[in-house]
Amino acid sequence: MAVRGLSVRISVLPVYFDSSILSSFVVLMVRVIPVRCLNLQEYQSKKIMADHGVTVQRFFVADNSQDALEAAKRLKAKEIVLKAQILAGGRGKGSFTSGLKGGVHLTKNPDEVEKLAKQMLGYNLITNQTTKDGVKVNKVMVAEALDISRETYLAILMDRAFNGPVIVGSPQGGMDIEEVAATKPELIFKEVIDIFEGVREDQALRMAASMGFKGLLRQQAAEEIKKLYHLFLKVDAIQVEVNPFGETPDGQVVCFDAKINFDDNAEFRQKEIFSQDDTSESDPLECEAAKYDLKYVGMDGNIACFVNGAGLAMATCDIIELHGGKPANFLDLGGGVQENQVYQAFKLLTADPKVEAILVNIFGGIVNCAIIAHGITKACRELRLKVPLVVRLEGTNVNEAKRILDESGLPITSASNLEDAAQKAVASMVPK
């Protein structure tokens, strides 16, 4: 499923899924929590898998074609697979701005690896999960290729509907799992796991059988499933997806692709994993905001929204649109905010050249409105704010906040409620 490109960019959570089976769950979650999630590339996820005893092929990572060639030689493999590393899935069927078709290539000739890497690195890869411009490829994975006799699908995820982990599997994995889910839902199997008990032997074996593994392979697949579940818990994942989870003609079960998403709340105990965060594909403003514990989401319009809380952000964006405006971005301050964060927030909002007006909509519960007011006046002065600013403050210490703004002598338009604020922000812009 394409997570990017949904109508409201609030819903952009930069995670990608091979499978639409999970999409409704994910989109719901995304719509209400504008968070930056940890993103790891396939090679990073595979390293974690290998560290947990899961079967993956040997591989190297390269960021230039010469290193890719060296890696291909060092592997001494019968056949090599070269895979572009971007956070989106659907790479196999993607195409590059260099003209090369396919983000995953198999070859027996190391020199061919160099040629292919040249057509991947530095170019954008466009897949059904990226925007139409695609994503720049900075790294390639050079791995030992194996014959695959059968491609199945396996995912482990936290599912709210079951209040815990669920294993999802299908005998028909590979590149078109979305189609399987849509046209043959009877081929999608689920095992609900009791988090206190873990995966039982009979559950792992039943899932392996449902996925079409027979005889010794069934036992092997069950072992891989148990290891993946162990990893899922150990690294505080919310999803581990392996597609294809494959079978080789010589009787091995191998994880050929890997995507792991992590629970952001577990950052404090997964420091090593979180330190690998790959932000190369993220909006630089989003990353800058995260440094100050602020959440920034860019959109296409021209009114910057400065809010506290995801719900208020959504409401503010909606009401701006209702009055004929378009939000340029929103910045969520969260609770417990300090004056310096307010200043940084203004700096970020105004860094977007599209911004023609700023609407501040703060409901002070934990947030002290006076701190916001001090931050706003400091930012207006120091940043020499040039665009109109409409402020609606409500809640804790609001009278003091209003006094600070009124006495500042700055050209700030105050609004009495959200509706009034949105109307004033839209009206404040000079028509082009």
CB 297 within 8 Å of CB 6: no
Size of the site for ligand ADP (CB under 6 A): 21
Site string for ligand ADP, 168-207 (x = CB under 6 A): ------xx--------------------------------
Query: Of 141-160, which residues contact ligand ADP (CB under 6 A)?
Result: 143, 145-146, 148, 151
CB 71 within 8 Å of CB 44: no
Nearest to ligand ADP of 92, 301 (CB atom):
92
Of 56, 134, 57, residue with least CA distance to 99: 134
Across 138-290, the runs of DSSP E, i.e. the strands, are 139-144, 150-159, 164-170, 189-192, 237-247, 253-255, 259-262
296 carries an active-site annotation = no
CA distance 177 to 153: 8
Q: Which residue has the tokens 């530095």?
A: 122
CA distance 405 to 382: 15
Nearest to ligand ADP of 2, 205 (CB atom):
2
Does an H or E element contain 96, and which?
A: strand 95-96
Nearest to ligand ADP of 8, 148 (CB atom):
148
Q: How far is the CB of 235 from Mg ion (least distance, A)?
A: 20
Of 165, 245, 240, 236, residue with least CA distance to 198: 165
Of 126, 100, 128, 125, residue with least CA distance to 113: 100
Question: Which of the ranges 84-92, 321-329, 370-378, 396-404 carries the binding residues for ligand ADP, by CB under 6 A?
Answer: 84-92
What three-state secondary structure class fits 267? Answer: helix
Q: How far is the CB of 143 from ligand ADP (least distance, A)?
A: 5
CA distance 226 to 205: 10
Is 104 among the residues that bind ligand ADP (CB under 6 A)? yes
Q: Which residue has the tokens 């059988």?
A: 209
Is 287 among the residues that bind ligand ADP (CB under 6 A)? no
Rg (CA), the chain: 25
Question: Which of the ranges 90-98, 189-197, 269-277, 380-388 carries the binding residues for ligand ADP, by CB under 6 A?
Answer: 90-98
Catalytic position from the list 153, 229, 292, 343: 153
229 carries an active-site annotation = no
Does an H or E element contain 82, and which?
A: strand 80-85
Q: How far is the CB of 77 from ligand ADP (least distance, A)?
A: 9
Is 316 among the residues that bind Mg ion (CB under 5 A)? no
Q: What length is written for the chain?
A: 432
Size of the site for Mg ion (CB under 5 A): 2
Site string for ligand ADP, 215-254 (x = CB under 6 A): ----------------------------xx----------
The residues assigned a catalytic role are 153, 241
Instruction: Please report, as ranges, the residues that interact with Mg ion according to CB under 5 A.
Output: 243, 257
Instruction: Please report, as ranges, the residues that interact with ligand ADP according to CB under 6 A.
Output: 18, 57, 81, 83, 89-92, 104, 106, 143, 145-146, 148, 151, 174-175, 243-244, 256-257
